[in-house]
Structure 1
């Protein structure tokens, strides 16, 4: 449970940070519903990595579940909050940007976890 809570809170932090960057770049104003939606979206994206705990699923399937769930959450919340117009070009652009941001964050976590695993294996070999 502690791992899920930590991951969910990390998702909220990352999502909030990205939203602050977008606010600064595009000079947008947000209201209370937007803030709650960003927190909810971050929590969902932070919770979805629970799928990586299932050893019987191959990594590409885990990534598809994580990315797919995140995309669904983004488009539901962006539709509710009118963040992205429901037209092909803006939707494709938003999906592209979202996917790129997602993959960058995912690779950062992958590299971090690989480095941690390497350190743990080195300590175990030295014992």
Structure 2
């Protein structure tokens, strides 16, 4: 268990910084283009911190794929649930979506559909790759 927690934290620290870096670059470009952006330092800080935390969690949750005992369905459920709750929390904390049931429902539907589409693409790609490999081995 300690090994998994250590790996989760290491991956989060390594890859969590990419999101805030992108956010900072976007803010810099908007600044130089004289686009009116958030001037509230606290809001910017919350945005950068939230982006970092999302990156940290996304990178860290990749350890779920290394646990073969879980099975692919349960691993997808765990991974998807952690990501969903993390994104929803960050979106609500930062007021990136309104705090009302309709907005949360729309966010949830979009998140779940996007997550499922991504997994369908991965599944079909890997299935096709396995088929080609099996044909090559025959």
Which bin holds the TM-score, normalised by the shorter protein?
0.5 to 0.7
| Segments ≥4 residues shifted beyond 4 Å | 111-123
Cα deviation, 1:49-107, whole Å, max 9, x if unaligned, reads 31121111121111110010011111221122111222110000011111122223333
**How high is the TM-score relative to the length of structure 2?**
0.58
Q: Name which structure has the greater RCO, CA cutoff 8 Å, separation 6+.
A: 2
Unpaired stretches in structure 1, ≥5 consecutive residues: 21-28
**How high is the TM-score relative to the length of structure 1?**
0.62
**Which structure has the larger Rg over C-alpha atoms?**
2
Please report the RMSD computed on the Cα atoms of aligned residues, expressed in angstroms.
3.7
Please, which of 78, 99, 102 is the counterpart of residue 89 of structure 1? 102
The alignment partner of 1:56 has SS state of: helix
Unpaired stretches in structure 2, ≥5 consecutive residues: 1-6, 27-36, 39-43
Matches of 1:103 and 1:46, distance apart in 2? 19
Matches of 1:5 and 1:109, distance apart in 2? 22
